[in-house]
């Protein structure tokens, strides 16, 4: 059995394609269940964020699994497989593990070091477990990745110096509007990112903060935590006209602010500049709003460019974070390898125990009445001999488990002693060539 990840990210495809491939929690659950019904796929977990959609599977056959994932992604997103191929990357086994750990540590994010990815990985694990598609392989792998991400944040400075999407967006807004301590801010949405936006705007000293949401109860709850005000989406127009900075993060499937709404707000402002900080995918703000006089749109594409050109201060912390991730990957792989050979060790000792018990029983039946102390001494001697004979191969297979020869040695023991344990070596389960374009060091 092997682990494969097939996905899209801001590294491999444009924002427009990521936007079309965005999936909500229900769609992620459905995708997990669809794939576990595919041939040769035993476990599935899906990591869906604003700048990535990644499918992790445990599989018996690499070729079949990649084909199944590609087809399932096309069906779930409504984007043709031919179009998806240009943006898909594939990682296999150790490369897949390393990729997940780097993602969890914030090393692969658009905003390097951002902390939200940990919650998103945790959500991927929760959804897969609730869907019943994540078990003995992907569950421990995702939990180990979460531990790695936590270590990056506690043992390095990356969390502190890595600029977040929100922080970068607010810096750009301040460059247009001036200091935000006098700004009127409208936050559209009431989810986790909106909550962070409200708290950050308050800390920046915004003159007013207003929260708008489709569900007024949610807007009231969020506003109440930060001394802000709340309005329903039906009263969005006046709030929009009053705001200098509009932050959107709704997670809605379509655009929330179109050109007409923005035009009306700008007209009411008599040409005063207005910044739209769009943190959503799909985008909340129509791209055409950027063409309106006085409107400045900062979306994920703009933020990605800004972050890609401004990471000099992050480099020392980034090196330390990569070191932590490398340690965690090595520890996880060693633990997994030891677990993979454990059935062989158990089977070997069970076979030896069965042979010993059978032979001692045969001896006792032949000897008839024997002094109990003599019989006990014979049994102890036989067990000691067998234990000494098994000691070296048992220790050796555990030592070799973390290296490339571990499974080869375990397989040799299974053959020599005719042990019935399942074969987990990917080299003998029939790997074929990847039917999709393998990028970034993927399998071929």
Please give the positions annotated as active site. 50
Looking from the CA of 162 toward its CB, the CA atoms found within 13 Å total 26
The neighbouring-strand residues paired with 247 are 187, 277
Looking from the CA of 436 toward its CB, the CA atoms found within 13 Å total 33
Q: Is 9 helix (H, G, I), strand (E, B) or coil?
A: strand
Contact 301, 280 (CB under 8 A): no
- Which letter does DSSP use for residue 313 in this model? G
Contact 98, 329 (CB under 8 A): yes
Distance of alpha carbon 227 from alpha carbon 202, whole angstroms: 9
- Sequence-separated contacts (24+) of 395-400 with Cβ below 8 Å: 397/341, 397/344, 397/345, 398/338, 398/341, 398/345, 400/341
Contact 277, 306 (CB under 8 A): no
Selection from 301, 295, 225, 304 nearest residue 266 by Cα: 295
């Amino acid at each position: 059995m092997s682990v494969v990840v097939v996905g899209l990210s801001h590294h491999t495809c444009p924002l427009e394609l990521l936007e079309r491939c965005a999936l909500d929690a229900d769609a992620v659950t459905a995708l997990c269940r669809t794939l576990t019904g595919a041939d040769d796929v035993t476990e599935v977990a899906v990591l869906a964020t604003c700048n990535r959609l990644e499918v992790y599977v445990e599989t018996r056959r690499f070729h079949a699994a990649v084909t199944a994932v590609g087809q399932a992604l096309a069906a779930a997103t409504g984007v043709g497989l031919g179009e998806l191929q240009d943006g898909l990357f594939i990682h296999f086994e150790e490369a897949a593990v390393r990729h997940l750990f780097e993602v969890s540590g914030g090393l692969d994010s658009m905003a390097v070091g951002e902390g939200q990815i940990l919650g998103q990985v945790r959500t991927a694990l929760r959804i897969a477990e609730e869907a019943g598609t994540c078990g003995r392989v992907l569950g421990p792998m995702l939990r180990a990745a979460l531990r790695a991400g936590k270590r990056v944040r506690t043992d390095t400075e990356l969390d502190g110096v890595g600029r977040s999407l929100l922080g970068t967006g607010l810096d750009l807004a301040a460059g247009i509007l001036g200091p935000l301590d006098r700004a009127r801010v409208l936050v559209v949405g009431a989810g986790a990112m909106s909550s962070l936006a409200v708290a950050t705007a308050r800390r920046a000293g915004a003159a007013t903060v207003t929260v708008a949401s489709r569900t007024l109860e949610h807007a009231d709850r969020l506003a109440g935590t930060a001394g802000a005000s709340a309005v329903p989406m039906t009263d969005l127009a006046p709030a929009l006209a009053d705001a200098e900075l509009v932050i959107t993060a709704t997670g809605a499937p379509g655009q929330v602010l179109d050109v007409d709404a923005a035009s009306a707000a700008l007209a009411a402002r008599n040409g005063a500049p207005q910044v739209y900080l769009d943190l959503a995918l799909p985008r909340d703000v129509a791209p055409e709003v950027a063409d309106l006089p006085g409107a400045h749109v900062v979306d994920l594409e703009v933020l990605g460019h800004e972050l890609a050109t401004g990471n000099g201060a992050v480099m020392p912390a980034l090196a330390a974070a990569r070191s932590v991730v490398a340690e965690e990957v090595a520890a996880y792989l060693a633990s997994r390898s030891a677990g993979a050979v454990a059935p062989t060790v158990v089977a070997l000792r069970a076979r030896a125990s069965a042979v010993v018990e059978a032979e001692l029983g045969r001896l006792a039946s032949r000897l008839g009445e024997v002094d109990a102390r003599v019989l006990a001494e014979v049994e102890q001697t036989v067990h000691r001999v067998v234990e000494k004979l098994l000691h070296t191969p048992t220790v050796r297979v555990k030592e070799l488990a973390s290296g490339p020869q571990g499974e080869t040695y375990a397989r040799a023991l299974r053959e020599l002693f005719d042990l019935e344990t399942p074969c987990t070596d990917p080299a003998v389960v029939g790997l074929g060539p990847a039917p999709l374009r393998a990028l970034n060091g993927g399998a071929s």
